[in-house]
Amino acid sequence: MAVRPQHVHDGGIVERRLRPIYDWLDNGNNKKALQEAEKVLKKSPSLQAARALKALALFRLGKGSEAHSVLDALAEEKPSDDTTLQAMTISYRESQQLHKVCALYEAAVKAEPTSEELHSHLFMSYVRVGDYRSQQRAAMGLYKFAPKNPYYFWAVMSIVLQAKTSEDTTKRGILLALAQRMVDNFISDNKMEAEQEARLYIMILELQEKWEDILKFIESPLYSQLVPGSTAQACIPYLTKLGLWKRLNLVCKELLYENIDRWDYYLPYFDSVFQLMKQNEEDPECTVDNTAEKCHEFICQLVESMSSGRTLRGPYLARLELWKRLSVDGDPTSLLGSGLSLCVQYLRVFANKACAVPDLRPYLPMIPQKEREENCRDFLTCLGFDENSEPETTDDIQRHVSCLTAWRLTAAPLSADEALSLATKLRDHYMRCLKLGLVTATITEFCAPDAYGILAAHHYFYAAVMQQSSAPIVEALCLLELVLHHSPANFHAKLLLVKFYHLLGGALAADSVYGRLEVKHIQLLSLGWLHGARLAPACAATRALQLLADTRGFHTHHSKDSVEHLTYAYKYGTFEKLVELGNWGNRLEACGWAASAARDRALLSLLAGPPAPLHQPTRLPAQPTDNRDLNVIVNFEPPQFEDIHLKSRTFDQEMSYLKLKDALVSAIALCIELADNRSVEEKKDHYEQLNVCVDAFSQAMDKCKQMYGEKERICISAPFPSRIIAFVNSPVPYRELYCTTLRLVGELALGRAAPVHSACAAAQGLLPNAQAQLATELHFGPDAAWNMRDCLEHLSNYLEFIGIITFLLGVCNELTAPASTKKSKKKINQSPDELKTSELLNNLNRTVQSSILYLEGVLDDWPKYEFGDLDQKLSNLTIDTKYQSPVESKLKAGREDMINDVRYILKRKSKYLKTLQ
């Protein structure tokens, strides 16, 4: 075998020469890294590691073609040293060519077939591309000459993943049987060594629904040896599956005696009790709890068993759970007393904990509404407080806050005046705590008095919605900004500020707070509804494009960024994580909001973005997933206001709007395809597709108008009403505007003069009417700030159309003025039809320009935020002369920035349209 060139050099010398290249690459100075690599290669031209690092530096400098020519040359040499291979792997990973890593290690393994490390890297390369069959083969090859348990179980897991992704039930069954047999052989040979190996075996049996076999394995000495001390709790899910309620009951009781605060043991215990009650069998030994009385007695024993001074929530919550379950089919009052009394007792014991009211929330709806409202003050006064109490210690403040919150959750809804009065009291409580130095928040933690401000803000919101007035929201904003100033970690205040600024149409003011939330990448999807989705309808187009690009970027690259998590899961043997990561990846891939963000960004870039190629969008997910977190803003409305269909209903609305946007993007992409230099005959296919797309859009608009005619209630913790409602119910004839303009391009591409002239005239006739209808929508009323959000949404819909029609007029220009003519600028003879087409297009162009002039006039008259007696409101919030409330300046500056941004966009559009004439 020929000696490889790099082996000529001493290893230590090579390492010293390469070290500076690594350092520059790690520091991000790729130019220096490239220079250093060139320097090394002058002395040692054949050094593979230096060439691989050079390729990496070239790639990071944006010189992809040069990098790949170096890598291809290296790949031909079939390197097998780790340094070279790792550098090449990084380059391939960053250029999304992971399949080339597989080929790289396949060649390396052939060159050095006994290298355990190379075989391991080959396996991981298959993991990165999701090639489960090759994974299995590589793992078994590795196990043959390095018989270690992890390698064997890598192969088993690869078979399991093949089974999970197979749609053929027969093949799935065969694969799972093979995986089980492989582990059975290991068990027979007494080779099992680790807990994760046992968990993988259970996973295989679960996928085959062999519940009895799982139970037998868990109760075997081997499982106790591999996972000591966990046999009892591991049995619980499988006893439930098999309906072995007596055994389940005894197991849970035994576990609860030892762990009386484990809620995950209480729930299966209750399941077993109620199943045994249904069976109504005799229990001669009286060991199982098969009646409500025995269950209650057991819970009381647990309460009594608590050591003095250590009060745990589990048994107290268990009584509430028992009451709730018994109340489904009967009246548990004779056994447990009233549900209201149990809830009040729970609050009395645990009010000093911030989790007390969240614990109670699931049980408050079980109290009949009339009883709940008549006795609501019992929650407020159970510890001697009322709404006017002034506690002076942190513990008492937390108790007071818990009592206030529970009272508001159970009381009848307040009138607007009552809500304002309570909000003022709560604000005063917060100010008193501030003056007394009881606000003890740190940079990383918030404190109990903050809750006064949060609860006050909620009641300002309730009053504002009832009065349809912005004044209470301004007060809430001022208070929340003060809370955030003294408690910078309080995310409740930040979330409410974002919500309330958007409520008044202040998207850029909301953005200033959103930045302080420090939203992580995954939260771009789960919290997109809160801020990202509201920027475009608030005419904050430039910022919207940035955030939508971030969302799209995360969605596009999440699989690349998370691929190493899969390799780590194999390295550490956490096989369950592989399934979780797979499910998580699939959920992200089908994310509805990510698909919406991509379409919104494509359309918004036609209005406000730099010119970018618009391509046919990727196919919408067959079943979009709803990854929105709608529980992030806590709600203090009573149970009767809970809307159990809110999440599914709003998601359906968003998906309908997504389909409309998808049809528009698809139609515009087809228009671009039709603007090329192909013959008319070659364009017919795209022309037909365009007509199908436009028809689908038209029919969907009509259908959506019927489905979404009703206004949605504005709720503090829910998304604002979907954009589809304002869009399809607008008096502006968007359906006709879009369909006519898109068909115009299609007819022009096929050179059909009569339909083109008809479409031009129709579009030109629609625009003045649309302008007049938009004027009726931009009705601010006496309280401009309250109606600002709605008016901005109407304006944004029209602006989006202006962006699209301007772009399509540019496409029409491409079709009517061939490139060769434009370059020579010579006049050519045109037929009468062509002359008329040019004239009509110019007329339409001028009409669009007049619409832009109208919009500029609208912006000139756009109302300002008027704050009235804001100075008086702020005086109630002043204890520090250095602190200046930023609310007024944020809203006013945001309005100015928004208007300047839109004005700049319109000027660019107008300038562009003039170049087309």
Quote the pLDDT of residue 241. Answer: 95
Quote the pLDDT of residue 769. Answer: 94
Quote the pLDDT of residue 3. Answer: 30
C-alpha–C-alpha distance, residues 372 and 377, integer Å: 9
Question: At CB < 8 A and 24+ separation, what contacts does 860-865 make?
Answer: 862/895, 862/899, 863/780, 863/784, 863/788, 864/784, 864/892, 864/895, 865/504, 865/506, 865/784, 865/785, 865/788, 865/891, 865/892, 865/895
For the entire predicted model, the pTM comes to: 0.92
Evaluate whether 494 touches 524 at the Cβ level (below 8 Å): no
Quote the pLDDT of residue 45. Answer: 85
C-alpha–C-alpha distance, residues 715 and 465, integer Å: 9
pLDDT band for 827, please (50, 70, 90 cuts): low
Q: What is the CA radius of gyration of the chain?
A: 34
| pLDDT higher than 80, residue 77 | yes
16: how many CB neighbours lie within 10 A of its CB? 10
Please enumerate in sequence order all residues whose Cβ is within 8 A of that of 884, keeping only pairs 6 or more positions apart, or say none: none
Quote the pLDDT of residue 94. Answer: 86
C-alpha–C-alpha distance, residues 835 and 815, integer Å: 14
Q: 541-571 and 116-129 helices cross at what angle (nearest 10)?
A: 140
| Three-state SS at 906 | helix
Please enumerate in sequence order all residues whose Cβ is within 8 A of that of 229, keeping only pairs 6 or more positions apart, or say none: none
pLDDT digits (tens, 9 = 90+) for 539-590: 999 999 999 999 988 988 887 778 889 999 999 989 999 999 999 999 999 9
| pLDDT higher than 70, residue 631 | yes
pLDDT digits (tens, 9 = 90+) for 117-176: 999 999 999 999 999 999 999 999 999 989 999 999 999 999 999 999 999 999 999 999
Quote the pLDDT of residue 9. Answer: 44
pLDDT digits (tens, 9 = 90+) for 461-511: 999 999 999 999 999 999 999 999 999 999 999 999 999 999 999 999 999
Q: 646-674 and 784-816 helices cross at what angle (nearest 10)?
A: 30
Q: Which two tokens stand for residue 422?
A: 């309570």
| Three-state SS letters, 454-493 | HHHHHHHHHHHHHHCCCHHHHHHHHHHHHHHHHCCCCHHH
Q: Mean of the pLDDT values across residues 362-385?
A: 93
pLDDT band for 11, please (50, 70, 90 cuts): low
Phi, psi of 179 (to 5 degrees): -60, -40
Q: Which two tokens stand for residue 344?
A: 């009040």
Question: What pairs with residue 591 in β-bridges?
Answer: 625
Q: State the DSSP H helix or E strand holding residue 557, giving kind and residue range, or none if neither.
A: helix 541-571
Quote the pLDDT of residue 881. Answer: 65
| CA angle (553, 620, 100) in 5-degree steps | 55
| CA angle (676, 814, 839) in 5-degree steps | 140
Mean per-residue pLDDT over the chain, rounded: 91
Please enumerate in sequence order all residues whose Cβ is within 8 A of that of 459, keeping only pairs 6 or more positions apart, or say none: 408, 414, 419, 420, 422, 423, 426
pLDDT digits (tens, 9 = 90+) for 749-758: 998 999 999 9
pLDDT digits (tens, 9 = 90+) for 238-290: 999 999 999 999 999 999 999 999 999 999 999 999 999 988 777 666 688 98
pLDDT digits (tens, 9 = 90+) for 21-56: 888 888 888 898 888 888 888 888 888 888 999 999
pLDDT digits (tens, 9 = 90+) for 659-699: 999 999 999 999 999 988 888 888 899 999 999 999 999 99
DSSP characters for 744-762? Answer: HHHHHHTT-HHHHHHHHHH
Quote the pLDDT of residue 306. Answer: 83
Closest CA to 499 of 541, 550, 546, 534: 534
Quote the pLDDT of residue 436. Answer: 92
pLDDT band for 611, please (50, 70, 90 cuts): low
